[in-house]
Structures are given as structure tokens and as C-alpha cells.
């Protein structure tokens, strides 16, 4: 049940056709895992906290460095040298103290993925390294949980919605880790924040049931040229990570 204060706090978004009190209640009941709260994940978390997603679990290791601050907008100057997880928790709970925020000072790995993915409804992949992305993908597919994929590089952003049984997965899109990928990539916060806001809305649409998710479609945005394209993608027939195409699980 929404409290009177929640009905007031979320009233402008409850006016979006198809949301109402029922949609807001679905947001309140939702549990979402975000892998890293950097330039992309931080803004995803900020939007979902503002929208009233009831439980946000965020995995992000390490201490805050000066070079994080151009894009990791949950981080504040006074936390430099301290645990990023504490800063993430502080900023999100300042924005919305009504929701549960669980920040784990670990990055996604094959070891912790079963635990971190275990009791959420939806995962959002914002890690800067392919092994972390694949670890979350593989576990989400195994557990039948949808995953929003929203990577960027320079002025490029990709966005798609993987739903086990109905779409392919990250391994279908990119079966092999590119050896040339580097941890450090060129980025303005305005670009990482753009794809983050679109990814957050994919999550909101999925949870509330409004609109249409980017299933079997890859959105490519090049913010340098402002070309946006919707491109068809599909499950690979021999993908060992996807569940069988007819096995409709979680929210089919």
C-alpha cells in the first residue's frame, strides 16, 4: 500500500497514462540489481531511486578517485579516498529515504553473482569490464531474470532489453570478449548519463507495464553525429547461456 506521502511524492509520474497507484505500487515492490554505479549505473540508480523502486541493490567496489568525478554523479568531492559504496548510499538515501538501498562494496563475479542476482526481479548491466558483464549475464539467464544492457564508449551508446526465453543475451550479441577492450574509455558524463536515463526508463516500463521494451532490438546512438538507429538482434541458435527459446520464465 502506498502511504499518503508516497502518493504525493510520486504524483506527477502516477499521472503518466497506465501508471496510476497500481503502477507505483509495482515500482515499490520491485527489486533491482545494478552492477556498478559509475557514469552509467549511478544515473540509472538515481532515476530509479527518484521513481520509487522499492529495493535497489548496487554492487560497486573500491575507493573514490578524482578521475571518477566527471561522470559518477552519485559521488561527491568530500568522499575522495573513501569507499564508493558509502558515498553511493549517502546520495541515494538523501534523494529518497523511503526506499531500501543496499550497496555492496564488491564488483560482480561468477562467485558472487548467484547471491547478488538471487532475489531481485531485474538486473541492469553497467560494469566497465566484459568479465563482469558476462558474469551477470550468465547468472541472469540461468535464473531467468531480465537484463538491461546499456554500454557506452565515447559518443556511442547501445541499449537493449534481454529477456530469457524471448530474446538473446549478451553472449548472443558478443560471443567473445574483445581482447582490445581497455578499462579506461573516453567519456563525458553527459553521454553516460544519456544512456543511463534511457536504461532507467526501460526498467520503469518493464516494472509498470507501460510502453514497449527494446526486445530483440539494439538501439545504437552516436551522440557525436546524433544518429539513432534501431537494429534487429536475435538469439543465437547454439547459445549455451540462453535458456531454450520456448522456456518462458520470469514475466514471460
Partner 1 sequence: MPKLIIPAALRGRMNHPQDEVEVPGTTVGDALRALTKDHPELQDILFVDDQLHPSLRIFVDDQAPAPEQCLATTVKEGSEVVLLPPIAGG
Residue 40 binds partner 1, judged by CB under 8 A: yes
For the bound state, the minimum distance from the C-beta of residue 97 to partner 1, rounded and expressed in Å, comes to 27
Residue 240 binds partner 1, judged by CB under 8 A: no
Q: Sign of torsion, CA 58 62 64 66?
A: negative
**Separation of alpha carbons 124 and 198, rounded Å:** 12
Partner that binds at residue 175, options Zn ion, partner 1, none, CB closer than 5 to 8 Å by kind: partner 1
For the bound state, the minimum distance from the C-beta of residue 240 to Zn ion, rounded and expressed in Å, comes to 8
Helix ranges restricted to H, the chain: 4-9, 11-14, 20-29, 41-51, 84-95, 113-118, 130-143, 170-173, 189-208
Identity of the residue, 84 or 171, whose beta carbon is nearer to Zn ion in the bound complex: 171
CA distances from 177 to 85, 99, 122, 155, 232 (A): 28, 36, 24, 21, 21
Partner that binds at residue 164, options Zn ion, partner 1, none, CB closer than 5 to 8 Å by kind: none
For the bound state, the minimum distance from the C-beta of residue 26 to partner 1, rounded and expressed in Å, comes to 26
Residue 106 binds partner 1, judged by CB under 8 A: no
Residue 55 binds partner 1, judged by CB under 8 A: no
For the bound state, the minimum distance from the C-beta of residue 206 to Zn ion, rounded and expressed in Å, comes to 19
- Residue 185's CB is within 10 A of a number of other CB atoms, namely 14
Residue 226 binds partner 1, judged by CB under 8 A: no
In sequence order, the β-bridge partners of residue 211 are none
CB 239 within 8 A of CB 171: yes
Identity of the residue, 102 or 156, whose beta carbon is nearer to partner 1 in the bound complex: 156
Instruction: Look at residues 119, 171, 181 and name the one whose alpha carbon lies nearest to residue 145.
Output: 119
Among the listed residues 58, 74, 169, 196, the single contact to Zn ion using CB under 5 A: 169
**Separation of alpha carbons 70 and 15, rounded Å:** 34
For the bound state, the minimum distance from the C-beta of residue 236 to Zn ion, rounded and expressed in Å, comes to 6
The residue assigned the cell 551522440 is 223
The site string for partner 1 over 115-134 (x = CB under 8 A, - otherwise) reads ----------xxxxxx--x-
Grid cell listed for 200: 532507467
Q: Which positions lie near partner 1, rule CB under 8 A?
A: 35-36, 38-41, 125-130, 133, 150-156, 158, 173-178, 180-181, 185-187, 192, 218, 220, 222, 224-225, 227, 229-234
Amino acid at each position: 500500500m502506498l502511504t499518503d506521502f508516497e502518493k504525493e511524492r510520486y504524483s506527477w509520474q502516477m499521472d503518466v497514462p497506465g501508471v496510476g497507484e497500481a503502477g507505483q505500487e509495482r515500482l515499490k515492490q520491485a527489486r533491482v540489481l545494478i552492477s556498478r554505479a559509475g557514469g552509467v549505473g549511478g544515473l540509472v540508480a538515481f532515476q530509479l531511486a527518484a521513481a520509487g523502486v522499492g529495493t535497489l541493490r548496487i554492487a560497486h567496489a573500491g575507493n573514490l578517485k578524482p578521475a571518477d568525478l566527471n561522470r559518477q554523479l552519485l559521488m561527491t568531492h568530500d568522499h575522495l579516498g573513501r569507499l564508493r559504496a558509502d558515498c553511493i548510499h549517502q546520495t541515494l538515501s538523501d534523494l529518497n529515504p523511503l526506499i531500501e538501498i543496499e550497496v555492496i562494496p564488491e564488483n560482480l563475479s561468477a562467485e558472487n553473482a548467484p547471491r547478488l542476482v538471487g532475489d531481485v526481479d531485474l538486473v541492469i548491466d553497467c560494469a566497465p569490464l566484459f568479465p563482469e558483464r558476462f558474469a551477470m549475464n550468465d547468472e541472469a539467464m540461468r535464473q531467468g531474470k531480465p537484463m538491461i544492457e546499456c554500454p557506452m564508449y565515447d559518443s556511442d551508446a547501445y541499449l537493449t532489453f534481454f529477456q530469457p526465453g524471448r530474446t538473446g543475451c549478451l553472449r548472443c550479441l558478443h560471443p567473445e570478449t574483445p581482447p582490445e577492450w581497455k578499462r579506461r574509455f573516453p567519456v563525458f558524463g553527459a553521454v553516460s548519463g544519456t544512456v543511463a536515463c534511457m536504461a532507467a526508463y526501460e526498467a520503469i516500463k518493464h516494472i509498470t507495464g507501460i510502453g514497449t521494451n527494446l526486445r530483440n532490438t539494439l538501439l545504437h546512438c552516436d551522440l557525436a553525429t546524433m544518429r539513432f538507429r534501431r537494429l534487429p538482434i536475435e538469439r543465437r541458435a547454439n547459445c549455451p547461456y540462453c535458456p531454450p527459446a520456448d522456456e518462458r520464465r520470469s514475466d514471460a
